[in-house]
Amino acid sequence: MNPRGTMIVTGGGRGIGAATARLAARSGWAVAIVYRDRSADAESVLADIAAAGGRAIALRADVGDEAAVARVFEAADALGPLTALVNNAGVTGGVARVDALDPAQLDDVLRTNVRAPFLCAREAIRRMSTRHGGQGGAIVNVGSGASQLGTPGVWVHYAATKGALDTMTIGLAKEVAAEGIRVNCVRPGLIDTEIHAARPPGQLEEILRSVPMGRAGTADEVARSIVWLADGDASPYVTGSFIDARGGR
């Protein structure tokens, strides 16, 4: 058995999710890595965890689909009691001004960034809440500094979904605090991942100049904050809180 129980990481095949899965496995969790596509990336994370002596499984699913989410949590039950959920899966919905936004883009970003975290949180609460016979646990939402900045001209639609995740964090933390579940959020800023590849030419360099620390962050740096919040020994009295991993921006 893994001493910290089981952690589910959505969007766990690459970027911040992959870094979180690797660190969580090293820290004593069994990890369920959930991914939508790019199975080779998920298998690579699995191989890294196995090589380090950890325990993990990879589960392919669209976390915006209710039935798929139910299957993910049922499969993860085989690893042991669920103690942490990391709602990391997210999409930008593509670069567009609001007056040029395709409704299909909006539907996709709302499905993945808002609907999916709620569906996953619902399943996690049913397992972790003392109200349902559970032993407690933690939910960590991966938001974005975009919720504070709005990202005009690029992806206001994406920023709005991350604003919804902020509100969910605050409300859900209060809703389940007495049931042994802590709910927190990490809001990354400019992180060296693929998500920024679609930005207009030159914009990334312009943003980088506005970061007081003078550099982009790394997925591993964000993962440390996520795992700290998931760890009931490290952060037992922290709930409804936000860590802005934005280099001061």
Which residues are designated catalytic?
158
User: What's the Cα-to-Cα distance from 21 to each of 14, 45, 63, 225, rounded to whole Å?
Assistant: 9, 8, 17, 13
Nearest by Cα to 114 from 52, 68, 160, 77: 160
The type of residue at 209 is R
* CB count in 10 Å sphere of residue 47: 11
- CA–CA separation, 39 and 43 (whole Å): 6
Residues with Cβ within 8 Å of residue 33, at least 6 apart in sequence: 9, 12, 13, 17, 18, 21, 42, 45, 46, 56, 57, 58, 59
10 Å CB burial of residue 78 (0-12, 13-18, 19+) is exposed
Compute the residue count for the chain: 249
10 Å CB burial of residue 189 (0-12, 13-18, 19+) is buried
